[in-house]
Amino acid sequence: MPMSPRKRAQAFRGVQYGILVLALAAVAFLADWETLGNAFFNLDAMATQFPGIITTALINTIIYTGLGFALGLAVGLVLALMKLSSVAPYRWIATVYIEFFRGVPALLVFIALGFGVPLAFQIQFDTYSTAAIALGLVGSAYIAETLRAGIQAVPKGQVEAARSLGMAQSRATFTVVIPQAFRIILPPLTNELILLTKDSSLIYLLGLLGTEYELAKFGREGMNATNSMSPILLAGLCYLLITVPLGYLSRYLERRAGRKRDEGLEVTA
Amino acid sequence: MSADTGDAQSGGPIVEITGLHKAFGMLEVLKGIDVTVERGEVVCIIGPSGSGKSTLLRCVNVLEEPNSGSVVVNGFELTDPDVDIDRARRSIGMVFQGFNLFGHLSVLDNLTVAQRKVLKRDAAEAERIARENLDKVGLAEKAGAMPEQLSGGQQQRVAIARALSMQPAVMLFDEPTSALDPELVGDVLGVMRQLADEGMTMLVVTHEMQFAREVADKVLFMDGGVVVESGHPSKVIADPAEDRTKTFLSRVLNPVHASETTD
Ligand SMILES: Nc1ncnc2c1ncn2[C@@H]1O[C@H](COP(=O)(O)OP(=O)(O)OP(=O)(O)O)[C@@H](O)[C@H]1O
Ligand SMILES: [Mg+2]
């Protein structure tokens, strides 16, 4: 006898719970908890990481990411405006740049900046500048695309209203379009900040002094020093300390933007 | 009007359009339009959808670039490539069908932003003029509101106040009440009527025949990219000479009946 759709849905849900329980049981019985505990949850090894993991590593990760994001935002804005320019060569340059840095692994960008550029031009930036430039290059490609979409999502009537009040094109762009584009893209922009936070773990490639360690490098040094995996787990938790609140912020902004839109529709409908 | 709004010509007509042509690609939308608007006059443009009314209005502040012909507004030859179009637009207020209030700014900031950034008025002066105009459209208490918190009719009145805050020499309206619920139309038309009474020069694209009949000094009937008939509303609306005008008016004034007989 065929099952009714509702019965079928119920049975399917039951199967899903069953799979979950089996998977958890397998992990619980098969994993070597004792070894795992010693390797990853060694509290003594973790304790040795403080306070450096916060005062040096976490702070440095935030600084590198913040600098990179700021630069990425500035370059991304220029690229987005170039991509929307009526001058074709600007559009081409922006397209090539975006496709390149979006497609190339961040790892290669760090290697190129850390070793290629100093060799080619006989210049050596300090770590913070190099890290900011590398993260900025990687971030700007994504940010540019997000910004372009945001700018294009601002209704054309906004520019027309601004122009009809005597604003020049550039003034209309900066006082009317960009502020509204940012409101639209704040949630995806927060996601890019999260991705950049994780990309900052590649900074170790530049060769760091002890005071320049960020979380990933700090955790690995800790692993060597304590002969335990615990420090890297701790470093991972510190990443979550940054990214989880950002994720909440992103969802909050998304909800707020969504609500604003709905309210807007209600009153003008 | 102050001298710095570019009031180069104070005697003659405020809008003078001659031989205006505009095409979008192959589509010829305006096929030689001549319109004159005298200072203080209210001119209403009526006509079927797609006849080029919006395009004509948008050529008057060069939101659309004319292909040929000349458009002179308040002494600015707008079709002259050397004209400072941003400067010319200061004296041309425009009200859109979709309001187009700046969504990220409060009502007050909507009214002051161009005053400060374009006319370089100081904040206090800009705010004083803004509040004056909000008061005029009956929305003094909404200064702190965001546009999305207002009804369509209120938004449109704010948009009118925003344009007025630039103290323009002429106001353009493109179907200002077409996007509104019927019960909100009256407030907006009331504000426009009051503006007309105060002597504002107005060029209005509208489907509100009652308004055109009562307020306009001159009505233009457009069809197929040309002005078919123009003159006093008592002539064009009440007693049209052209068949095309008659057909259009019978459709607009009596839509149910017209759809039975004309299709
Ligand atoms: N930017 C544009 N690109 C291409 N065609 C356009 C553009 N703007 C208007 N048109 C076309 O020009 C013609 C006239 O349009 P216009 O908006 O001026 O008509 P209208 O008289 O204002 O009509 P409505 O009463 O529907 O607003 C229409 O066929 C329209 O499709
Ligand atoms: Mg129109």
Q: pLDDT digits over A206-240, tens only? A: 888 888 889 999 889 988 888 888 899 999 999 99
Cβ contact B69:B17 at 8 Å: yes
The residue-averaged pLDDT of A245-254 equals: 86
Each residue of A155-178: pLDDT tens digit?
A: 999 999 999 999 999 999 999 999
The pLDDT mean for chain A works out to 88
* DSSP designation for A3: P
Q: Which residue of chain B is at minimal alpha-carbon distance from A160?
A: B63
The residue-averaged pLDDT of B52-80 equals: 95
pLDDT-wise least confident of A115-124, A244-253, B158-167: A115-124
Chain A contact probe: residue of B57, B76, B102, B120 with most A CBs at under 10 A: B102
Q: Which pLDDT score is estimated for A265?
A: 43
Percent of chain B, pLDDT > 90? 90
| Beta carbons of A164 and B93 less than 8 Å apart | yes
The residue-averaged pLDDT of A10-30 equals: 91
Query: In one letter, which amino acid is A248?
Result: Y
Q: Cβ(B53) to ligand 1 under 6 A?
A: yes
Q: Which pLDDT score is estimated for B10?
A: 57
Residue B78 has pLDDT above 60, yes or no: yes
- pLDDT interval class at A264 (50, 70, 90): very low
Tokens for B225, please give them: 């990219």
B contact set with A (CB within 8 A): 61, 63, 86-87, 89-90, 92-94, 96, 98-104, 113-114, 117-119, 148-152, 155, 159, 162-163, 166, 179
Chain B contact probe: residue of A163, A164, A173 with most B CBs at under 10 A: A164
Q: Which pLDDT score is estimated for B256?
A: 67
| Beta carbons of A268 and B155 less than 8 Å apart | yes
Ligand 2 midpoint to CA B59 (Å): 12
Q: Which pLDDT score is estimated for B5?
A: 42
Q: Which pLDDT score is estimated for B257?
A: 57
Percent of chain B, pLDDT > 70? 92
Q: Alpha-carbon distance A176 to A183, whole Å?
A: 11
Query: 């070597």: which residue's tokens?
Result: A32
Q: Cβ(B225) to ligand 1 under 6 A?
A: no
Instruction: Residue B257: count other Cβ atoms within 10 Å of its Cβ.
Output: 11
pTM, rounded to two decimals: 0.83
- pLDDT interval class at A255 (50, 70, 90): confident
Q: Which pLDDT score is estimated for A261?
A: 52
Q: Which pLDDT score is estimated for A258?
A: 60
Each residue of B42-54: pLDDT tens digit?
A: 999 999 999 999 9
Residue B37 has pLDDT above 50, yes or no: yes
Q: Cβ(B65) to ligand 1 under 6 A?
A: no
Q: Cβ(B206) to ligand 1 under 6 A?
A: no
Residue nearest to atom 25 of ligand 1 (CA): B49
Ligand 1 midpoint to CA B223 (Å): 12
- pLDDT interval class at A27 (50, 70, 90): confident
Percent of chain A, pLDDT > 70? 95
Tell me the three state secondary structure of residue B77.
strand
- pLDDT interval class at B262 (50, 70, 90): very low
| Beta carbons of A267 and B103 less than 8 Å apart | no
The pLDDT mean for chain B works out to 92
Q: Cβ(B54) to ligand 1 under 6 A?
A: yes
Give Cα separations from B204 to A56, A59, A253, B188 (angstroms): 66, 61, 41, 13
Each residue of A184-213: pLDDT tens digit?
A: 898 889 989 999 999 999 998 888 888 888
Q: Which pLDDT score is estimated for A36?
A: 81
pLDDT-wise least confident of A193-202, A255-264, B90-99, B180-189: A255-264
Q: Ligand 1 pocket: which of B29, B96, B203 to mutate (most atoms <8 Å of CB)?
A: B29
Chain A contact probe: residue of B117, B170, B175, B180 with most A CBs at under 10 A: B117
Each residue of B191-217: pLDDT tens digit?
A: 999 999 999 999 999 999 999 999 999
- pLDDT interval class at B8 (50, 70, 90): very low
Instruction: Residue A244: count other Cβ atoms within 10 Å of its Cβ.
Output: 11
Q: Which of residues 117-176 of A touch B (CB under 8 A)?
A: 155, 157-158, 160-168, 171, 175-176
Q: Please choose, from the candidates B72, B75, B22, B74, the residue with its C-alpha nearest in 3D space to the C-alpha of residue B51.
A: B22
Q: Alpha-carbon distance B122 to A177, whole Å?
A: 23
- pLDDT interval class at B1 (50, 70, 90): very low
Q: Alpha-carbon distance A192 to A71, whole Å?
A: 13
